[in-house]
Amino acid sequence: MVTATGGAAQSREPAQSPIDVTFDAIRFDPAQPRLSVSYWRTDVELEYVRKDLSSPTGCVTRQAEETEEAAVEPGSGHVTLAGVRYDLVQFHFHTPAEHRVGGRADPLEMHLVHRAADGGLLVIGVPLRPGTRSTVDSVLARLAPECGEPVDVPDIELGTLLPANRLMLSYTGSLTTAPFTEGVRWFLATGMTVSQATIDRFQQLFTGGNARAVQPLGGRTLALTPRTGG
C-alpha cells in the first residue's frame, strides 16, 4: 500500500479513485508491462452487499456503497502483471459508471476485483452501455434481494465479460468505498454492451445511484496497456 514518505501525511497528494479520464493525461510507454488475463468458466453467486447491518430500516434503504456482487469459484480466473499473479475474487456493479471520460459517464460500470498473495489489489473496470445483450445480462438477470438469499448463476464464461478491444488504460488509485485504501492498480477497459432492460432493473434497485464522485487526478497519468488473453 502507498504510504507517505517524509513530512506530514496530509501533505501528500491524494491518489484516489474514481477519476475523470482526460486525454492529455494518457501516455504511451513501450516498456509498460502488458496485462495477461486467464479467465475460465465458473458458477457465480450473486449477493447483495449491505453496509447498514445495524440499521432497523437497512433492508429497504439503499446506500451508495452497497452493490450487487458476484463471487466466483476459487481458481476460475487470474491476471498476471510484471510476474505478479492476482486472483479474481469477485465482480460487482455501479450506477452510473464511476470512471468518467471527458466528463461523461456510462450508465453502469463493472469492477472485476483481483487480489495478490501479498494482499495487493488489481481492479479491471468495464463501462457498460446500452446495446446488444451480453454475459452481463445473464449475471444480472435476477438481482439478489438486500435481505434474502443470494442468486446462483451457473456457467458464466468469464472471458466474455471483457471487450474484444484489448487496449486498456492503467493508473494507480484506490478503493471507491471505505476505507478508500490506496495503491490499487486500475485497468480501464473500453466499453461492453448490455441490454437497456438490465440497466433499468439495476437502476430501479439503486434509484439514488451507488457510485462515488470522481476524485482529483493530481499529477497522475494513465498508461496505454495492451491485454493478452481473457
What is the binding site for Zn ion (CB under 5 A)? 111
Min separation Cβ 74 and Zn ion, Å: 20
The CB-nearest residue to Zn ion is 111
Here the cell at position 130 is: 446500452
Taking alpha carbons only, the member of 158, 122, 144, 170 closest to residue 43 is: 158
CB of 34 or CB of 52, closer to Zn ion: 52
- Between 100 and 111, name the residue whose CB sits nearer to Zn ion: 111
CB 17 within 8 A of CB 98: yes
Nearer to Zn ion, 24 or 144 (CB): 144
Query: Closest approach of Cβ 91 to Zn ion, in Å?
Result: 9
- Residue 97 one-letter amino acid: A
Using CA atoms, how far residue 144 sits from 62, 157, 228, in Å, is: 13, 20, 33
Closest CA to 129 of 170, 171, 97, 89: 97
* Nearest-approach distance from CB 93 to Zn ion, in angstroms: 8
| Cell matching residue 32 | 509498460
Q: Based on CB atoms, which residue is closest to Zn ion, 111 or 227?
A: 111
Cα–Cα dist 123/116, whole Å:
11
Is the CB of residue 188 less than 8 Å from the CB of residue 162?
Answer: no
Based on CB atoms, which residue is closest to Zn ion, 66 or 146? 66
Smallest distance, Å, CB 95 to Zn ion? 11
The least distance separating Zn ion from the CB of residue 94, rounded to whole angstroms, comes to 5
Distance CA 166, CA 228 (A): 7
> What CA–CA distance (Å, rounded) separates 1 from 121?
9
Shortest gap between Cβ of 87 and Zn ion (angstroms)? 17
Measured from the CB atom, the residue of 198 and 210 that comes closer to Zn ion is 210
